[in-house]
Structure 1
């Protein structure tokens, strides 16, 4: 398996239902959202709000992470897409990093990108052992945009199959944006 630290992308899972709005308005921090298909757990959202994390757009360091799996298992009837952004966009735009799950038992560390990147325990993350609570927490480290992420900053949107790909392409044309879309079944449970 490739070293996650050396990869070039960041990943954000969302419902296919949100894609039209995202193409038109960008990927917004939760605090700026009004009507959208929420994929996150309500209890976790309350805790994130207490840490003011709803002011950021969260991305993960790899796809098919514990969050993605949890959401897809909980909402097995829904279709999802994974929006990717190059890590150099996060560096250039001065995004923040949380080196482990923000709701881990220890205090939250909201760090500047470079410091946060170095604070992540990449060896543990690369193990991807979701039965180990420490590893699972590190696998849910986040890179956080304090601003709306424009479709112009998207690298590619990954989908589970050709049917979802066609729907995404239609939504993209309606919004007048141009983003690469590709099928990668390995990023999705079904």
Structure 2
């Protein structure tokens, strides 16, 4: 267990903030223990999903119903489903000390424990399996086709309960919720940390105009109707956002290659893929349980270069922005998320690209989110309204 503390900093339990006071009194309980003690609680999971855990057993014959389940990665399909059913402000993620793995009778599952492809292993063997999946567990996204959607939900199964003294941190979506939670558990002396990225939220959101925002965060979890992917016109999605789209949404890659072959996608002429399937089908655990799934996610394939080996073409980017300005209404684009086009792997500088994008996108009468470069931090002076629009308040 010596290397364990170095690599596994915490395990995680997802719950409603209404349950925190009870958890600090009784611990994180198994479903069976909650029933036996008659403890009232606010559920966040569908009863049918939870009841499926009754039917599966650990190697010693105990039902999963008798185990408290902790995740190695809380930013997973289960959390995604939860915060798309209830207000994310009502959700708390409890960080638990890794020493909980030393509890007698613990097991580790190599994915969602209720899913039959997941193995349920003794801790020593399970830790080895977890480290072999470490890259998957700590990835930013997942895919149902390659098993990563199941694997990222790997669990530590703790018999009966996790003691309150094993709780080390509580994570919530923002500072207002943190203040509320601190008042609820004032005697616990456990840090309450706002961590929006853990809840699929931007770490930063700045308004430039009434409809235009600058965002730091994960473009692929944007709530905008249409997501823009910067690509080349050769049909190769090798790195960056394009590679992510190829992996997470394989159908987008097929459409992209066809658009390149048919010349429908060109420098200065983006191609809009009006995808019909719901993004929740790939991101949420048990998407059929969502009563209000996200609207169909469209993808705007925006060519910033011809050859993937070249730097991006700022003139071509400007022509593409003109296309958006002239066509977004007729195409039915209702809201738009756009990366910092040509920055990062494209070799262009935000100081040149940012004002250009804002010039064209600020006049659209739909919500537009520009996602800032993730490769490096952008100096504050290049994020001001005055710099981006050439005007003062």
**TM-score higher than 0.5 here?**
yes
Q: Is residue 2:170 matched to residue 1:165?
A: no
User: How far apart, CA to CA, are the structure 1 residues paired with 2:40 and 2:71?
Assistant: 23
- 1:150 is matched with 163
Q: Which range moved further: 21-30 or 128-137?
A: 128-137
User: How far apart, CA to CA, are the structure 2 residues paired with 1:186 and 1:55?
Assistant: 31
Say which of 116, 135, 140 aligns to 2:126: 116
CA contact (8 A) 1:20 1:171 kept: yes
Say which of 46, 52, 67 aligns to 1:56: 67
SS of residue matched to 1:74? coil
CA contact (8 A) 2:73 2:153 kept: no
Alpha-carbon deviation of 1:21? 1.0
User: How far apart, CA to CA, are the structure 2 residues paired with 1:99 and 1:13?
Assistant: 18
Larger Rg: 2
From the superposition, tell whether residues 118 and 188 of structure 1 become closer, same or farther in structure 2 (CA, over 3 Å).
same
User: How far apart, CA to CA, are the structure 2 residues paired with 1:114 and 1:23?
Assistant: 29
CA contact (8 A) 1:152 1:179 kept: no
Q: Which range moved further: 39-48 or 9-18?
A: 39-48
CA-based RMSD of the aligned residues comes to 2.1
CA contact (8 A) 1:83 1:158 kept: yes
Alpha-carbon deviation of 1:102? 2.0
- 2:42 is matched with 37
Q: Deviations over 1:119-155 (max 9, x none)?
A: 2333443445422340111111111111322221111
SS of residue matched to 2:29? coil
CA contact (8 A) 1:128 1:135 kept: no
The structure, 1 or 2, with the larger RCO (C-alpha pairs under 8 Å, 6+ apart) is: 1
User: How far apart, CA to CA, are the structure 1 residues paired with 2:169 and 2:48?
Assistant: 30
User: How far apart, CA to CA, are the structure 2 residues paired with 1:17 and 1:156?
Assistant: 16
From the superposition, tell whether residues 185 and 55 of structure 1 become closer, same or farther in structure 2 (CA, over 3 Å).
same
Alpha-carbon deviation of 1:42? 2.1
Structure 2 gap ranges (5+) = 1-5, 57-62, 202-393
- 1:28 is matched with 29
From the superposition, tell whether residues 129 and 182 of structure 1 become closer, same or farther in structure 2 (CA, over 3 Å).
closer
User: How far apart, CA to CA, are the structure 2 residues paired with 1:129 and 1:184?
Assistant: 17
From the superposition, tell whether residues 7 and 92 of structure 1 become closer, same or farther in structure 2 (CA, over 3 Å).
closer
User: How far apart, CA to CA, are the structure 2 residues paired with 1:105 and 1:158?
Assistant: 30
- 1:137 is matched with 150
Q: Is residue 2:92 matched to residue 1:81?
A: yes
Say which of 90, 97, 103 aligns to 1:93: 103
User: How far apart, CA to CA, are the structure 1 residues paired with 2:16 and 2:69?
Assistant: 15
Q: Which range moved further: 128-137 or 78-87?
A: 128-137
Alpha-carbon deviation of 1:24? 1.7
- Give the alignment's TM-score, normalised by structure 2: 0.43
User: How far apart, CA to CA, are the structure 2 residues paired with 1:36 and 1:67?
Assistant: 19
- Give the alignment's TM-score, normalised by structure 1: 0.85
User: How far apart, CA to CA, are the structure 2 residues paired with 1:36 and 1:104?
Assistant: 25
Would you say how many aligned residue pairs link Structure 1 and Structure 2?
Answer: 182
